[in-house]
Chain A
């Protein structure tokens, strides 16, 4: 009964530990939440970026309609005129979570909170939970000290903050929490062979499936873990129980999500889980047989059955894929292995900046000192190499690769970096913080002369501890700095500094979207590049042709073609798709580089993918292969609708001199201004970032619009006294 009776001030030390732990948790959650509030304090409680606007809109739909209406939601305001079966093509976890919170607050606590505020604050709130899940996960790996360290790392690591600041209402906001919880329960289930924990794993897996497409990561990581353990000869009944329970329940549950449906048994991405499930049965039978028959016979049995199974499995996989029963790998999957795959085959995937390979400084930027503690942690795991350590190693290795291939997968790497860094650091502290060791004497030493004061050892420990204390301190500074500078901009509101240092808010987006909302008919169709689809739907509440849910390449290519073609061609597309307004983003005046002219080549490429006869990427470059918008711009470039819309009346701002495009540092010639005949300018925001054009109706008397526009021009009605015979085509 030794230690448990230790008391400090009359309170059992265990109670104090629990109390301390709770306090630490509360502070960690507090730190995690408050470090994510920069954007709310600087700007306002607003939804960020692009995808969150859709999630927000869907959540509003959910709370204003019933759950079943949400599930069967057919959205006729996006992808006009195709519409989107939204209820069946989204991951409802996020919306249902915030909808549930909203209902609970309103109905049970009588707190009528605006749904927007719940959406904005959801990600920070869940980051606190992530920290706790990480604690439990790491505790399984080492002990609760490491767990606490991992929790605080997880709470403030920029790699995770990047997707979970207040207002970043995206699937990842809750998905990372669920990821860590699922993994924790899996480790627990696998260790104990417990059906109970395996069921919890399956439940959280289901929640994860409902929340994020990245659930496939779990679907593959857990089988891989099991597979590696089998290869290492560590098969046991606990593993069998845990895995089969999880797989059976988890797969059935995941199939309840409409968007996932039959994927778990039809898509290649999920085949590993099924294969390992089968393998486990075989190994189980093998073990049973092994226990029953002599070992020599067992060997031949093993060889024959293994070969058979292997051949059957591979043959079956190929056969079924060839017959179309199993969906082939998706393009996003291929681009994981071959980084140039997407650029060649699916420009639409490559055009998304977060699908680009990661630059190496990003690792330091997003995880600071953790990145070099990470290998140390992995090494510690190798040293002990219990079953759960294998999991950390696999997770770490796989994710390091994936994070190197795609920027956005940095997010899945961050948790394991935090965990293994915490393992390494706590190991270090275990050794160096234990000053008591220096002063205790062992049994053998007793009776000898008293030891000298261990100055050298003490100093070395103090130095190490101090330096790591400094590193930790610096880590906190770094995280705060990164969060505040890089990840807290809502991107719908931009901020710059005036020459005198005061902050200047550039609010062109909302100005323009609000204009659309107030000045256009409610059923107006707005064409814009797909990046802005969700924002137009969310903020302006107008029908869009394409949006960020890029499921229909052809439709996006149609918009690309309209932007890349001369006006007459575009006008046909406008008429066919009932387009009323065209919205473009132009940064030339302000030097805002994320504008449409810079994205223009992607529009051309995507359009070229569908209409290789009409659009050629080469045509948009100058003779010397440069991408220019000044007087050297190619003919196709100057005639393209996008060019005209961007630079229409641009040079007029400069009073007759050439206009200066501050993004591309080129001069826009004033003597050859773009002429528009099929659309007319109706709105340009304060800094010219958003320009909106109205598509003209057909000419009343049947002229083509170019002629009609020329007729309306002030100087055009010159008297033509001499009447000449017109040159006309033969009337058919």
Chain B
């Protein structure tokens, strides 16, 4: 457990028809939410059996979008099945067909004796912990013919690296990653992502539209959630042109507060990319509002103020001088 939690170690565990899982490993797997069937339980599927062995097929057994196994046709399978919990970090690779079950050979099948029934059973399962430690459980060594599975489990495949995260104000491009923005500023958010291929860092290109990298600009709730646009390779600490640059421009919402740029990229079979940058969005300062004469609506008031002042001035003059002359005339 510690191995995974603290050291980010990788574990691959393989079951088999006759094999017995050591208790430590079993309780470890259970703790993760993977419950392999016990000794003497085998995965059976009488509808897809050929020559005494279960034959898997892409149609029935492959979990779509798992990135590790592309085709399963005509794979013979002798091994266990497993139940898995609703742990979000677990992703199934090979599942049981709707007619398959895991039970003791020769016993009657019902819900109390069978370990797995139908599509709730799984034959190969991967788990990637939040620190990107990887665990794979395979029901049978026959699945090892898919090199992607063990490559993945030993961090040889699907390893991504967030090379850099930058954001800046379009008005002041030289100041990278400022702590302070103002409402309605225009922001550019850029990241660089590399993928490890055969030990070399190369730019990572998203495979399809479903895999968009997204950034949210959030204060409790996301005010913006935007797809990042790929703009080409860039340099990174690992060498020139090793990272793919993704970028998005957006306007800071008209709301002050402490916002977070949150990148959260969790895709099956790839390392998690997570990043949080907290910035402050301030309100307009006292001298950043429009001046009164720039607002056309205010002209009316400005003019009326001017008229009142002028009228008052005229009134005072007339009161003092006009009145005075009359007074003097009377006296004279």
Contact = CB atoms under 8 A, between A and B. Distances in A.
Nearest to A732: B86
Interface stretch (B138-146, B254-262, B300-308): B254-262
B296 interface: no
Contacts of B62: none
B122 to A, nearest CB: 9
Given A699-B130, A707-B31, 12 more contacts: A71-B285, A72-B282, A72-B283, A74-B256, A74-B282, A703-B87, A717-B27, A723-B26, A726-B83, A729-B86, A730-B120, A731-B85
B181 to A, nearest CB: 11
Contact of B130 (A81, A577, A700, A719): A700
Contacts of A80: 258
Q: How large is the interface on A (under 10, 10 to 19, 20 to 34, 35 or more residues)?
A: 35 or more
A76 interface: yes
Interface string B273-286: 00000101111011
Interface string A72-88: 10101000111101001
Interface stretch (B32-40, B310-318, B320-328): B32-40
A72 B285 contact: yes
A698 interface: yes
A702 B256 contact: no
Given A702-B33, A702-B90, A729-B86, A81 B283 contact: no
A725 B283 contact: no
B1 A711 contact: yes
A137 B212 CA distance: 74
Nearest to B283: A85
A531 to B, nearest CB: 22
Contact of B280 (A76, A723, A732): A76
A566 B283 CA distance: 37
A523 B90 contact: no
A705 to B, nearest CB: 13
A80 B280 CA distance: 10
B4 A700 contact: yes
Contacts of A720: 27
B32 A701 contact: yes
Given A82-B219, A702-B88, A731-B86, A72 B258 contact: no
A300 interface: no
A449 B78 CA distance: 142
A318 B127 CA distance: 66
Sorted nearest first, the 5 A-B pairs with minimum C-beta distance are: A702-B89, A74-B282, A72-B285, A76-B280, A81-B258
Interface in B104-124: 115, 120
A258 B5 CA distance: 52
Interface in A687-732: 698-703, 707, 711, 717, 719-721, 723, 725-726, 728-732
B31 A576 contact: no
Nearest to A74: B282
A80 B219 CA distance: 9
25 contacts: A68-B285, A71-B285, A82-B219, A83-B256, A83-B282, A88-B283, A577-B220, A698-B130, A700-B129, A701-B89, A702-B32, A702-B33, A702-B88, A702-B127, A702-B129, A711-B1, A723-B38, A725-B115, A726-B85, A728-B84, A728-B85, A728-B86, A729-B85, A731-B84, A731-B85
A85 B256 contact: yes
A645 to B, nearest CB: 24
Nearest to B36: A723
Given A81-B257, A82-B219, A702 B87 contact: yes
A80 B278 CA distance: 11
Contacts of A523: 278
Given A76-B258, A698-B130, A723-B26, A81 B32 contact: no
A729 to B, nearest CB: 6
Contacts of A732: 86
A700 B5 CA distance: 6
Interface of A: 68, 71-72, 74, 76, 80-83, 85, 88, 258, 523, 576-578, 698-703, 707, 711, 717, 719-721, 723, 725-726, 728-732
B131 interface: yes
Nearest to B221: A576
A72 B87 contact: no
Given A700-B4, A717-B27, A726-B35, A258 B258 contact: no
A258 B282 CA distance: 16
B217 to A, nearest CB: 12
B283 A74 contact: yes
Interface of B: 1, 4-5, 23, 26-27, 30-33, 35, 38, 83-90, 115, 120, 127, 129-131, 133, 135, 219-220, 256-260, 278, 280-283, 285-287
A452 B199 CA distance: 124
- Chain A facing B: main interface SS: loop
Residue from the set B90, B115, B258, B286 with the largest chain A CB neighbour count within 10 Å: B258
Contacts of A717: 27
Contacts of A577: 220
Contact of A719 (B4, B23, B83, B85): B23
B258 A701 contact: no
B182 to A, nearest CB: 9
Nearest to B279: A76
B75 to A, nearest CB: 23
A138 to B, nearest CB: 39
A68 B1 CA distance: 55
A700 B258 contact: no
Contacts of B220: 81, 576-577
Nearest to A543: B258
Contacts of B83: 725-726, 728
B171 to A, nearest CB: 18
Contacts of B135: 701
Contacts of B127: 701-702
Contacts of B130: 698-702
Residue from the set B38, B85, B135, B281 with the largest chain A CB neighbour count within 10 Å: B85
A80 B259 CA distance: 10
Residue from the set B27, B88, B259 with the largest chain A CB neighbour count within 10 Å: B27
A699 B286 CA distance: 46
A88 B86 CA distance: 49
A680 to B, nearest CB: 15
Nearest to B130: A700
Given A83-B257, A700-B129, A725-B83, A258 B286 contact: yes
Contacts of B89: 701-702
B84 A68 contact: no
A88 B1 CA distance: 52
A72 B90 contact: no
A728 B35 contact: yes
B280 A83 contact: yes
A701 B29 CA distance: 11
A729 B84 CA distance: 9
Contacts of A726: 30, 35, 83, 85
Contacts of A698: 130
A271 B84 CA distance: 69
Contacts of B258: 76, 80-83
A711 B38 contact: no
A711 B31 CA distance: 8
B282 to A, nearest CB: 4
Contacts of B287: 68
